[in-house]
Structure 1
Amino acid sequence: MGVAIRDILVDCREPVSWDDLSGIAAVDAHNALYQFLSIIRQPDGTPLMNGKGRVTSHLSGILFRTANFLEKGIRPVFVFDGKPPELKQETINERRKHRAMADEAWKMALQEGDLEEAYRQASASARIDAHILESSRELLDLLGIPWLEAPSEGEAQAAWMVRKGSAAYVVSQDYDSLLFGAPVLVRNLTVSGRRRVRGRMVTVNPERIVLSSLLNRLGLTREQLIEIGILAGTDFNPGVRGIGAKKALKIVQKGEFESVIAEKQPDFNPAQITDFFLNPPVTDDYTLEWSAPDIEGVVEMLCGRYDFSEERVRSALTRVSVKATQKTLDAWF
């Protein structure tokens, strides 16, 4: 879910061209994997799989999206979630329940022959397991792409890396990194292009949110943005019933956050959530190094073990190093 503040950010999102995105991008790895697993599916919602029934949608997403990044001068570093905070356990449990329900709804829709509903429910049932994580990290290693595991929330670590200058921006579909202090968030990089939304195909383009501009436009401090998130709902609390982002914005602008919390949720102390957003566990123990891909290693993994088309794999790997009008992959090293 992330933080439910989308409705107040409509005027804060600016379109951005791929030409303006060259540089190091801290990618929220779990968010990207969920996007790949949700979107890269058959028309009936079945994920891509190899002959042994192993899901490969995420590997397809990593290969082709990473090739696209590198071709456009973007050097990604994938930041994986570490141990989730106790504050998040209720959300994790709810998500598991929701995915299980979506999985059952998918099977029912298939039986009824409703492919549109089947695709929608199948997308909602996407889950990340040990196989998804292990194979993703193996492929990133073979592609020469750095990755790290955060002490806790990946978005917090990614935000920290941008704040300290290790990366230019965070890549995520969610807005949590803004509450964690990310100076720049770029959305739609992992889902740009033609995709299915609510049963129809649309074109999705990259968009950028600059935290300082957002705060200035709304007349807020970062702490107040966190208060809006707490009222509307975050991964660490369900929010206040009946209060969405727009209403929360008015409450905070009037200085009524504490009084509303005291009235609506007298047993709730938001201080620990505020502190987690302001001071999340992060690490400086990482090294960002990109290397040329192990082409034969990638081919062996994807084609030998996961039944990918060798022609498509080699073509994708060629794209990252051959383009006359741009830097080649070798120019980074």
Structure 2
Amino acid sequence: MGIKGLLRNIKATDRQVHVSELKDKRVGVDSYCWLHKAILTCAIELVHQKPTRKYIDYMISKVNLLLRAGCIPIMIFDGRDIPLKEETNKGRADHRSRSLQRGLQLYRCGDREGAVPFLAQGVPITTEMAYTVIQELRRMGVTCIVAPYEADAQLAFLAREKYIDVVITEDSDLLVYGTPVVWYKLDRQGYAIEQRYDEARKHLASAAGYENFEYIQFISLCILSGCDYLSSLNGIGIRKASKLVTKFSNINEIVSALAADEKSSHPKELLEKYALDFEKAMYCFLHHIVYDPETKSTSHFTPLASKSHKDSLIGNIFDAEMSKAICEDATIDPINLTPYKSLKNESQKITNFFHHQSTCEERIISKIHKTVRKRSLQEIIECQTDGKSVASTRESTESKSRVKVVSRFFAMPREAVANTIEPPCSQSPDLSVRSYTIIMDDCIPSPTLPETQAYTTDTLPDSQPSVISLDTSVEISTGGHSNECVNSTVQKIARYVGCRNTRSNASAKSGKILSVKSVDEIAEIIENSG
């Protein structure tokens, strides 16, 4: 995203900064850059059609970081794609599809941690998701603007018009547009890397043996290096592009020089087409459509010298009413130009994208939740695994306990009755333990996704916890006041369910993670115990 190699070649002008320097300043944020990172927190939930607000909470946490610093965040969201980027967007869609398939493969193999980055790359950020974030941020009093087209040009326009003082983004295109101050890589502690347009431009010119680049020269070398609108020619990067723009005044002279170069391997026809595409890219950088919050209307980033608006390259100018509805009021979806619909089916829309992009094999996985019928608690307990009936509860003289069940196999979390297990030993339970949360993987015929069942008992110490062992892992979290007895109780439960490896931490708030090697081991231990 942005100009290939630009940030790497101006690293010498990097300056580490902190959000405390932004006090009382207006800060424009490229919101979709944060949204792409936010998806990492909930990629699995989105793939599995689970309702989630983790991406919203992530955005709120980032905005709060700025608010605590005393600055005024202005959140800018992407609007429509410009026509010239159609091929680029197709390539990105293909990349999302491949990432999704790779993520599903890793997840199916049990590598959840490895799957998340790929699944996050495969999740499409929809306008409805952006809309939910906008609504939440506006409740906090944060200004949000939806760009008519791309956010980077909108941010650059606002910076040029002094509407904002600093831009926070991950997109190097902001420097191409001449944005005075840009912050990259803002972390949780509030540190970032600052780049200034004048310094970056002068540094590249100096490296090419030139005093400084003019505005058009800088845009030209960035396009030659490779941008979202046009890939670079083979063998041309930032350094060579810098030298070319110092020697020649326009693209025609550059391609003529390349054609005459004996070392050049570029066919004449390719160079002629490249020159035409270069002019189109230059047009988009200069005349991108932006929204002016002062006049409540859309216009060009740089005014056109004549009535030569090329909507086939940059899209259409909206009328004043539509401009305000899309960009400022956020009542009209910028993609389909209709009012935002209800968000109740947001997760289903994401799933439909996956279903459309996936191969037949992956479709089986993406739809697996729909094929699993709702089962009773007893059916789950008596789950069939590898031909063995795993009975994971025992008859006990103890009275029955109420077990809160949270599972996708039940329509809503509800109360269910289950037999309590036989106490692991004759000693009384630890009075410090307030609750146990037991989580295990469900058993679903291949191909499988690691489903999760969670059972929580809040009745301790009045009764023993119900332990249900189904697949490869059991997680027991203890709450309440910590003392030396907690670890003892955890070890008792570990021995009872047949755990081979245990890890315990004496911290009052930390959980106890108990792992078993296989389902067969659980079955064997339970059967041998009578």
User: d(CA) in 2 for partners of 1:79 and 1:282?
Assistant: 11
- Note if contact 2:152-2:171 (Cα within 8 Å) is conserved in structure 1: no
Give per-residue Cα distances to partners, 1:71-104, cap 9 Å, x unaligned: 0112111112222211111111111110111000
Question: What is the match of residue 109 of structure 1?
Answer: 106
- SS of equivalent to 1:136: helix
Question: 1:230 pairs with 223, 248, 255, which one?
Answer: 223
User: d(CA) in 2 for partners of 1:34 and 1:253?
Assistant: 37
Question: What is the match of residue 36 of structure 2?
Answer: 34
Q: Tell whether 2:285 aligns with 1:277.
A: yes
Question: What is the match of residue 11 of structure 2?
Answer: 10
1:87-236, aligned counterparts within 5 Å?
87-189=84-186, 192-193=187-188, 205-219=191-205, 220-236=213-229
Q: Give the partner amino acid of 2:150.
A: E
Give per-residue Cα distances to partners, 1:274-306, cap 9 Å, x unaligned: 122123212223599xxxxxxxxxxxxxxxxx9
Which structure has the larger Rg?
Answer: 2
- Note if contact 2:248-2:254 (Cα within 8 Å) is conserved in structure 1: no
Q: Tell whether 2:272 aligns with 1:266.
A: yes
- Return closer, same or farther for 1:10/1:274 CA change in 2, 3 Å cut-off: same
Question: What is the match of residue 200 of structure 1?
Answer: none
Give per-residue Cα distances to partners, 1:240-297, cap 9 Å, x unaligned: 2332333333333443873444544321221221122123212223599xxxxxxxxx
- Return closer, same or farther for 1:255/1:158 CA change in 2, 3 Å cut-off: same
The percentage of aligned residue pairs carrying the same residue is 23
- SS of equivalent to 2:95: helix
Q: Give the partner amino acid of 1:271.
A: E
Question: What is the match of residue 19 of structure 1?
Answer: 20
Cα offset, 1:159, TM superposition: 0.8
User: d(CA) in 2 for partners of 1:144 and 1:286?
Assistant: 19
User: d(CA) in 1 for partners of 2:160 and 2:218?
Assistant: 17
Give per-residue Cα distances to partners, 1:41-60, cap 9 Å, x unaligned: 5xxx62579x9613433202
User: d(CA) in 1 for partners of 2:249 and 2:293?
Assistant: 40
- Return closer, same or farther for 1:16/1:124 CA change in 2, 3 Å cut-off: same
List gaps (5 residues or longer) in structure 2: 206-212, 260-265, 297-346, 348-530
Q: Tell whether 2:227 aligns with 1:252.
A: no
- SS of equivalent to 2:289: coil
User: d(CA) in 2 for partners of 1:47 and 1:250?
Assistant: 49
- Note if contact 2:77-2:144 (Cα within 8 Å) is conserved in structure 1: yes
- Structure having the higher helix fraction is 1
Question: What is the match of residue 235 of structure 2?
Answer: 242
Cα offset, 1:12, TM superposition: 2.3
- Note if contact 1:47-1:56 (Cα within 8 Å) is conserved in structure 2: no
User: d(CA) in 2 for partners of 1:256 and 1:53?
Assistant: 56
Name which of structure 1's ranges 237-246 and 207-216 shifts more when overlaid on structure 2. 237-246
- SS of equivalent to 1:178: helix
Cα offset, 1:155, TM superposition: 0.9
Cα offset, 1:163, TM superposition: 1.0
List gaps (5 residues or longer) in structure 1: 195-203, 289-305, 307-333
The runs of 4+ residues in structure 1 deviating greater than 6 Å are none
